Structure 1
Amino acid sequence: MALTKRIFSDTVRAETARRGETLLQRFGSQFALDAVAWLVAVFAAALLAYDFQVQRMPLLALLFVSAIAMLAQLIIGGAFSLYRGQFTYGSFDEVRALLLAVCAVAVVVGVPVIVWGNNVHLARSTMFLALPFAFVLMGSARYIKRLYVEAKSRPGDGAAPTLIFGAGYLGRSLVQRMLTDRYSPYLPVGMIDDDPRASHRQVRGVRVLGRLRDLPAVADTTGARVIVVAIARVDAALLRQVQDIAEESGLQVKVLPTLEEVLMGHAGLSDVRDISIEDLIGRQPVDTDVAAIASYLTGKRVLVTGAGGSIGSELCRQIVRFGPSELIMLDRDETNLQSVQLAVDGHGLLDTKDVVLADIRDREALVDIFRRRRPEVVFHAAALKHLPMLEQYPEEAWKTNVLGTRNVLHAAGEVGVSTFVNISTDKAANPTSVLGHSKRVAEKLTAGAADASSARYLSVRFGNVIGSRGSMLPTFAALIEAGGPVTVTHPEVTRYFMTIPEACQLVVQAGGIGEPGEVLILDMGEPVAILDIARRMIAHSGKDIEIRFTGLRPGEKLHEDLVGLGETDQRPRHPKISHTRIVPLAPEHLDHEDWLQRLRTNGAHTAVIGVVPERRSSR
């Protein structure tokens, strides 16, 4: 509230300066109306006190008391910021301040009248009878002024007739903002809401005109050209439904920025934007108090492998907010390191100790780095992740995803790392690909390290990340830009999706709520049909582009799993985060030749884990 008042006050001062006025010039008329209100109120109170017998009223005394009340109103009203442009005209804040000011004036002037009023034949009740008159007159003047200002601020004739989907607090606030912004490109003409309790709501004459199913009829009746979804954290499935119905009605769909964007200053609540494909396939984020959970990072030395990648760089941005004593960003790509340093430190000089150029395949280099830097918390994000590429080159998956993970775990064990979070994938659940098998082994190695050290070594498993390099959305966008065709493997293929910030949020949470040897899995809602995404992206582009089906690639599933066969789905800490355990694997039990032989013999899509029979270590 204080921030809102300050912003409004600053806006008023800036507008006043733009006009070449002083605050006294601009709000002098407001005080003049308040002064007249006291004059009228005092004489109206006297009429009541003297039973409308004007000849009995002490006119000079009444004029003197009115003048004193006016002076007190100026001083006390100024103290309550009534004449400084701090309040929105006619707002509840201004009415509350006005009531306090009027009561204070009535007391300050009324007490002397009670004591000495009879000496000048003035009724002692005059000021207290005048109080409600003055308050009503001043409040009415402000309300009329507010109506006048808002009428002048109403969007012009060029504003698009707009429907608001959602008649809750957010929707009502949006209607009010649009109606009081003369430069708004949107003029609200009605609201839509599926809640029966909202059927009779209205804001400044803008009423709820029906439910979502009534949208075509409402759009036809009102002439609306745009619909704005004003529902906080709206579910992607509902957005898809709104878009489908809106397209039939010829309506453009707009959405509001997220609360995070508003708080970070990237957008305001009235800054609507076009709906994006990310909105249509995203999910409602998991509510968790990350700041409380992530206290294990504060004051600690934190190392991130693969820091220059999509996940690693966002992870670094989130970690730095929790005040680690040192953030060590490790990657084998110097260009990626420069990008993440720009994002985290605001420069890309590459001459500071926070960036480390190293390959997780180099065991000796890792041990040397860990011994010199002594990290206490490690997030292991470095990996090869492209499924079809690893199907062609399975040995590369072994070197990076398996041996690289083993090397990082070994280096962490050498220096007594207390928390180790291995970033895995949903393809490790019931794996059918080289990628899935290699990441499954990495999970098992992490659990084995937890067994050996009793430290908090765990893995985090999630699905496809929206917008990561090489992921589906940028690929589809490039194909559409090139004129197509857009290639989809199978008409029924589905995938789980989440945003990069949410994926990294889960990783940070895992270090705080996971137990040694666990795998944490985010409930990712319902899987999304890839064909539906392709069609929506093509429709959004306005181009006529062919969709071509190429068939599932070796090792690729039609539908992904999050929890593997035989794994538990316990949720002891949060209803949306599953905790499961897998069989741990000691590094000495890895067998490279056996793993490759199994892949050659059976094919990656039918191979079992390429290690010797697993042995469960004792706890």
Structure 2
Amino acid sequence: MSRSIPAHGRTASSDRALWLWSQFLLDSFAWIVAIVLAVYLRYEMQLSGLRLPGILVLCGIAIASQFAVGSAFALYKGRYSFGSFHEAKLLVIVTVSVSAILTVALLFFGISMSIARGTGLIAFPFACLFMAAIRYVKRMYVESKAKPGDQAARTLVYGAGFVGKSIVTRMSSDPESPWLPVGLIDDDPAKKHLRIASVPVLGRMEDLPDIVARTNATVLLIAIANVDAKQVRRISDVVVGLNIKVLVVPPLKDMLTGGSEFSFREVAIEDLIGRQPVDIHVDEIADYVKGKRVLVTGAGGSIGSELCRQINDFEPAELIMLDRDETGLQTTQISLTGRGLLNGKDTVLADIRDATALSDIFLDRQPEVVFHAAALKHVSLLEQYPEEAWKTNVLGTLNVLNAARAANVQTFVNISTDKAANPTTVLGHSKRVAEKITAWVARESGLKYVSVRFGNVLGSRGSVLPLFNEQIRHGGPVTVTDADATRFFMTIPEACQLVIQAGAIGRGGEVLILDMGEPVRILDVAQRMIAMSGKDVDIVFTGLRPGEKLHEDLIGAGEDDSRPLHPKISHACIAALNPVQMSLEEWKNRQHLAASGDVAETAK
């Protein structure tokens, strides 16, 4: 039974074969022209009819040699990208080979052909030049057809480095691209006259208003790997009023592994107020997680869920996700496995306030490493209900510590907050006590039980950014406590990297603190978010809430700032607190001392 060949398959194959044969014919023509020109120049621009037969024979040898040598090197089999450097190199090799064959033929038969022996050598540069010119013209034609259409957004690319070059080249060769590169911007004077895929460098960032006017660009793409917040702020300030959308590229590793599409995104507030992440080489020191049973409390929260995702990459023997929020657990499970059935042993529904349940879970599952992320953390709410902070952040932490110690957990990391340094709020006091009892268990057991302290986490639940987003979405006003209030900020992935590293480099009883750079004014955050929204939203100052600080501390009074292992990570030692000696009444008393301004006493 005969089978019909699809028409489109036959057409594509025949078109390719037709192009390869036409390329050979054009190369043959190039040799004919080159040989005639070589003879014409060799004999001082005088051609004799006596030499015509010799010219014809020499052209025949050149054409046959071009076909034989070109076929031997797969020049006409479509092995190399058309017009590429590899094809150009191969073209020179083939042309040199054919020229050598012509020279040998003329050495033996040149006299009988009435052609000078050096004609082959003279013809070589002309043949090579003509063949390269044919390919260059073809490449220009193909690239002109591959450019994005008129519907593509006219785009300026900031950054003419590796990332910028890759993006411009790809944009220019994709007819389906939604972006048409019309110019590059780079602050390096050495790149002033550079062109990439025919796209020129038009100037520096200071020239952007004029460049936008000249090119009618509607998009500015920041094509710099790991661009820092200071540079993004500078760019966003320059484009104000230019009616141009600013996009940023993803991290380079995501671009290389993210498939065929570049997932450009609009500038987020995190890009504007963030900072260059501290490289803490977490991959090199997380071996204590690999192959171990790891338990994470608060696994459904913003920090706990990201922590689970990062730990999962280190191939633990078992990852146990514990939380009292079933919806949060399901969301985390989906992000890890793509399934949210909640019917496996990886998810555990329990409350850290329940000491008996925790003890049973730890003795049954026998975790070897524990990350304690479960906590209550909303400052204002806990000021109204301080006993809830005591039950969860203090007694709940003690329950997890006791269960871990009974199960012989070797590594325990308690996640704290900068509000625990010189605490003035219920949240700060509760987390301070959690740090102290963690230090006490470490001292008593000799195990690696440590705490990690960092500032506001961008995008986490309860942070200022989601609040401002909602207020702006509803038309305002945006509420700011004080015009001079500042806070430290870091990203969720960076916070979780610090947590994982703490389990490796922390010594029992220590509090690890990341150097978070310069604090950011909350008012600046609000103003930039409003500017990015394009809305006219008012800002209202509400005043500092009870116990709230104007500026947060990372290291408390009397704490040392030792950095023995990493220049950006402090190892502070704090006083241990025997849980037997603590009581709700004593804790409330210390809060009153803090309210009266006795910071030194409350820091004990």
- Take 2:598 and 2:565, find their aligned partners in 1: how far apart are those partners? 35
Say whether residues 1:465 and 2:451 are aligned partners: no
Residues 298 and 325 in structure 1, CA contact (< 8 A), matched pair in contact too: yes
- 1:23-77 CA-to-partner distances (Å, cap 9, x unmatched) read 4523642453245325634884697599458458374465245324314413422
Say whether residues 1:386 and 2:383 are aligned partners: no
Instruction: Pick from 25, 30, 40 the counterpart of residue 40 of structure 1.
Output: 30
1:349–1:160 Cα change, 3 Å: closer
Amino acid paired to 1:164: V
Say whether residues 1:365 and 2:362 are aligned partners: no
Residues 331 and 382 in structure 1, CA contact (< 8 A), matched pair in contact too: yes
1:211–1:44 Cα change, 3 Å: closer
Amino acid paired to 2:575: V
Say whether residues 1:151 and 2:144 are aligned partners: yes
User: 5 Å matches for 1:130-529?
Assistant: 135-265=128-258, 268-269=261-262, 271-529=263-521
1:565–1:56 Cα change, 3 Å: farther
- Take 1:139 and 1:446, find their aligned partners in 2: how far apart are those partners? 73
* 2:70 corresponds to: 73
* 1:118 corresponds to: 108
Say whether residues 1:103 and 2:96 are aligned partners: no
1:159–1:605 Cα change, 3 Å: farther
Deviation at 1:531, TM superposition (A): 1.8
- 1:274-293 CA-to-partner distances (Å, cap 9, x unmatched) read 22222222222222433222
- Take 1:529 and 1:178, find their aligned partners in 2: how far apart are those partners? 39
Tell me, what secondary structure is at the counterpart of 1:164? strand
Deviation at 1:509, TM superposition (A): 2.4
Residues 95 and 128 in structure 2, CA contact (< 8 A), matched pair in contact too: no
Say whether residues 1:29 and 2:28 are aligned partners: no
Instruction: Pick from 559, 562, 568 the counterpart of residue 560 of structure 2.
Output: 568
- Take 1:61 and 1:163, find their aligned partners in 2: how far apart are those partners? 53
- Take 2:328 and 2:419, find their aligned partners in 1: how far apart are those partners? 25
Deviation at 1:446, TM superposition (A): 2.2
- Take 1:69 and 1:309, find their aligned partners in 2: how far apart are those partners? 69
Q: Unmatched 5+ residue regions in structure 1?
A: 1-15, 615-619
Tell me, what secondary structure is at the counterpart of 1:525? coil
* 1:12 corresponds to: none
- 1:313-370 CA-to-partner distances (Å, cap 9, x unmatched) read 1111111111111100111122221221111122122111111111112222222211
Tell me, what secondary structure is at the counterpart of 2:74? helix
Residues 591 and 610 in structure 1, CA contact (< 8 A), matched pair in contact too: no
Tell me, what secondary structure is at the counterpart of 2:535? coil
Deviation at 1:17, TM superposition (A): 9.8
Amino acid paired to 1:278: E
Deviation at 1:460, TM superposition (A): 1.7
- Take 2:203 and 2:98, find their aligned partners in 1: how far apart are those partners? 53
Deviation at 1:253, TM superposition (A): 2.0
Deviation at 1:115, TM superposition (A): 9.7
Residues 160 and 224 in structure 1, CA contact (< 8 A), matched pair in contact too: yes
1:159–1:104 Cα change, 3 Å: closer
1:402–1:530 Cα change, 3 Å: same
Say whether residues 1:530 and 2:522 are aligned partners: yes
- Take 2:216 and 2:583, find their aligned partners in 1: how far apart are those partners? 69
Instruction: Pick from 547, 559, 563 the counterpart of residue 551 of structure 2.
Output: 559
1:379–1:215 Cα change, 3 Å: same
Bigger CA radius of gyration: 2
1:117–1:587 Cα change, 3 Å: farther
TM-score calculated relative to the size of structure 1: 0.85
Deviation at 1:82, TM superposition (A): 5.9
- Take 1:27 and 1:563, find their aligned partners in 2: how far apart are those partners? 73
- 1:452-480 CA-to-partner distances (Å, cap 9, x unmatched) read 33332222222111222232222222222
Amino acid paired to 2:488: Y
TM-score calculated relative to the size of structure 2: 0.87
Amino acid paired to 1:168: G
Deviation at 1:205, TM superposition (A): 5.0
* 2:3 corresponds to: none
Amino acid paired to 2:220: I
* 1:63 corresponds to: 60
Amino acid paired to 2:145: K
Percent of aligned pairs with the same residue? 54
Tell me, what secondary structure is at the counterpart of 1:540? helix
- Take 1:525 and 1:266, find their aligned partners in 2: how far apart are those partners? 35
Q: What is the number of residues matched between the two proteins?
A: 589
- Take 1:200 and 1:465, find their aligned partners in 2: how far apart are those partners? 43
1:550–1:584 Cα change, 3 Å: same
* 1:83 corresponds to: 78
Tell me, what secondary structure is at the counterpart of 2:221? strand
Deviation at 1:170, TM superposition (A): 2.4
Amino acid paired to 1:32: S
Say whether residues 1:549 and 2:544 are aligned partners: no
Deviation at 1:551, TM superposition (A): 0.9
- Take 2:54 and 2:596, find their aligned partners in 1: how far apart are those partners? 102
Q: Unmatched 5+ residue regions in structure 2?
A: 1-5
1:518–1:109 Cα change, 3 Å: farther
Deviation at 1:258, TM superposition (A): 2.6
Amino acid paired to 1:499: T
Deviation at 1:593, TM superposition (A): 2.3
